[in-house]
Amino acid sequence: MGTFNKLTAKISLLWLLPLYLLPRLVFILRYPIFNDESTYVRYGQVTVRGGYIWYSLVMSGKQPLPYVLYGLFSLLMYDPLIAARFVSILCGLGVFTLLYYLLNKSINKESAIVGVILYAVSPFSVFYDSLALVETMISLCFMLILTLLYLYMNKKDVRVLILCSIVFGISLWIKSTSLLFSVLFIVYFLLTIKSEHFSLKYALTFFGIILGGAFFVVLPLVMRPEFARTLSMPSEYTFTLGELLSVPWQAWRTNIVNILLVVIGYLSPLVIGFVTMRKSDIKNTDMFIRLILISTVTLLCLISFLARYAQGRYLYFMIGPIVMSLVFLFHSRRMPVIISALVSGAFSLWLVIFPSSYFLHLPQTYAFASDTDQYVTGWASGYGVREAIEYIKNDAGDRRAFVAVRWDSGNPEDAALVYLNPPYAKLTTWYLDKRLKMSELILKQYEGKPFYLLTRKGQKGDFGDMFTLVRSFDKPGGKESVEVYKRISITNNQ
C-alpha cells in the first residue's frame, strides 16, 4: 500500500470536519448580505413572526419551506443573516457526509476522502454553502435521493423507495427545480430494466410509489389557490415551448460556455480533474456509478437546453454528483488530486479573506462577469448596505427616527427591513411610496424628527424632492453605490 493509501486509511470523516466548517464559518461573517438573501431572510422573519406560513407563496410565488427554516433559525441567533446562512452550512454538511458515504460504498474509502476534501475546499462550494440561498437545500435533497436509490438498488426494500418519494415531495416544498430529480428516477429505471426483468407491473410499482408518495407530500401546497403562481415562475428562467421551437442557438451556445466555465474553470479542482481524467469504460462500471455519470451529463445537457441563462448558482444543486463523477474519472491519479486540493484551498482562502478581490480577478466574461456583477459590483451586491445602516444609526443617535425605503425588494430595501426591524426600536423602517396611503401619514408623524431615505444609486422614488443626499457608500468597482438621503427640512434646521 502506498503512502497516499496509508494516509487516507488513517483519516476519518470527523478529522475532515474542520476543513469543511472553518472557511464557511469565517466567510458568513465577512461577506455582506446579497440581494436575494435580504429578500429570503425578510420573508423568513415575516413568515415566523407573523405566523403566516404562506407569505412567500402569496407575495412572490415561492414555496414556503426555506423561509420557515430561515425564520425559525432567526429566533435562535441575534443576526438573522447569520442564522439563515447557518441553515445553508448545515445543508452543505449533509452533502459533505452523504458524499463520503456514497463514495466509500460505491468505490472505496480513499476515493471518499478525496471527494470530501475536494468538496470542502472548492471555492464553488465554499461560496454557495455560505449564502442563505435555497440551492443548498436542493443539493441536500438530491444527495438524499441518490443515497436512498443506492440503498434500494442493493436491498430492494420498498420502504426505502417510499422514503425516496417523501424526500422528493419535500424538495418540491423548496423549489420547482426539484422537478429535475425526475431524471434520476428515469435513468435508474432504464438501468435496472434488465436486472428487474422488465414488466408493466415493475414500471407501475416503481413510478407509482415515487410519484404517488411525492404528490401526497406536496398536496397541501398544490391545494393552495396561490400555487398557480409557482407554475408561472419557471418561465422567467426557462424557455417556453414556442421559444424552443424557434431554436435559440445563441442562448444554447452561451449556456454551454457558462456550464463549462462553472464546472471546469471556477478556480476549482474540477479544472484539473477534466485535464487529467483517465479513459473510463462506463459499460463495465458499477451500476450506481453509471447512474451518477449518466444523470449528471443528462442534467447538464437539459439545463443548457432549457435555461435562459445558465449560471453557477443554478448548477449548484448538482455539486454532489459532479464531484462524485470527477472522483470516479480520476480517483486513481494521486498527484492531480493533491495539486487540486492545494490549488483549491489557496483560492478558497483568497475568496474567504478578500471576496471582492477574488471575483474581480476572474476573467470578466460570460458566467464570471454576471457573477461578479451580482455578488460584488452591481446593485444586487451587499457592499455598502451595512455601512449605510451604521451611518444612519450613528447619525440618529438616541433620537426617534424613520428610515424610508422604496417599495422594492432586495438591496438595500429588504436589507434595511431585516436589520432595523425590530432590533432598533427607535429606528422605524418602512416603505415610502405614493401608492401606499400611509406614506403621507408617516411624513406627518415624523415631521421635525430625523427622517432618512436609504436607496440604490440615484433612485429616490416618489418623494425624492423632499430629500437631499448626505452620504454615499460605493460598491467595489465604483459603478454602483448605496445612498443615504435626509429630509430637507431637517437638514436645513440643523
pLDDT digits (tens, 9 = 90+) for 151-160: 999 888 899 9
pLDDT digits (tens, 9 = 90+) for 232-253: 666 678 888 888 889 999 999 9
Average the pLDDT over 437-464 and give the result.
89
Alpha carbons 76 and 83: distance in angstroms, whole number: 7
Calpha distance 430→413 (Å, rounded)? 9
Which helix (H) or strand (E) segment holds residue 404: the answer is strand 401-405
Q: Which amino acid is at 480?
A: E
Q: What is the mean pLDDT of the chain?
A: 86
pLDDT of residue 493: 46
Helix, strand, or coil (residue 365): coil
**Burial status of residue 310 (CB atoms within 10 A of its CB: 0-12, 13-18, 19 or more):** buried
Q: Are strands 481-487 and 467-474 parallel, antiparallel or unpaired?
A: antiparallel
- Burial environment of residue 228 by CB neighbours within 10 A (0 to 12, 13 to 18, 19 or more): exposed
- Tens of pLDDT, residue by residue over 409-441, are 778 988 888 888 665 567 888 899 888 888 889
Extract the C-alpha cell encoding 439: 406614506
**69-81 mean pLDDT:** 91
Residue range 175-188: mean pLDDT, rounded: 93
Which uninterrupted H or E stretch holds 199?
none
- pLDDT for residue 1: 42
- For 37-52, give one letter per residue: b (16+ CB within 10 A) or e: bbbbbbbbbbbbeeee
Mean pLDDT of 258-272: 69
Most confident of 99-113, 186-200, 469-483: 469-483
The predicted structure's pLDDT at residue 272:
54
Q: Please state, in angstroms and rounded to a whole number, the distance separating the CA atoms of residues 355 and 371.
A: 12
Give the tens place of pLDDT for each residue, 342-365: 888 899 999 999 999 999 998 888
Q: Report the pLDDT averaged over residues 373-386.
A: 93
Flag whether pLDDT at 262 surpasses 90. no
Q: Confidence band (pLDDT; 50, 70, 90) for 492?
A: very low
Q: Bridge-partner residues for 451, per DSSP?
A: 402
Per-range mean pLDDT, top range of 72-76, 119-123, 142-146, 191-195 = 142-146
Tell me what the mean pLDDT of segment 98-127 comes to. 90
At residue 147, does pLDDT exceed 90? yes
Mean pLDDT of 208-214: 95
Q: Which three cell numbers stand for residue 362?
A: 476572474
Given a cut of 60, whether residue 275 has pLDDT beyond it is: no
What torsion do the CA atoms of 325, 143, 94, 107 make, to the nearest 10 degrees?
A: -40
pLDDT the model gives residue 193: 80
Of 8-22, 250-264, 445-459, least confident by mean pLDDT is: 8-22
Cα 92 from Cα 86, distance rounded (Å): 10
Asked whether the CA dihedral 51, 53, 58, 61 is positive or negative, the reply is positive
Non-local (6+) Cβ contacts of 484 within 8 A are 388, 391, 392, 452, 453, 454, 469, 470, 471, 472, 473
Residue 25 backbone class (left: φ over 0; alpha: ψ -120 to 50; beta: rest): alpha
Q: How many CB atoms lie within 10 A of CB 431?
A: 17
- Mean pLDDT score, 446-460: 91
Q: Which three cell numbers stand for residue 179?
A: 422537478
Could you give the CA distance from residue 286 to residue 121 in angstroms, rounded to a whole number? 27
The stretch 220-240 carries a mean pLDDT of 80
Any idea which of 27-36, 96-105, 137-146, 280-289 has the lowest mean pLDDT?
280-289
pLDDT at residue number 304? 92
pLDDT at 4: 52
Q: Is 197 left (phi over 0), alpha (psi -120 to 50) or beta?
A: left
More confident residue, 269 or 132: 132
Domain extents in the chain: 3-358, 385-493
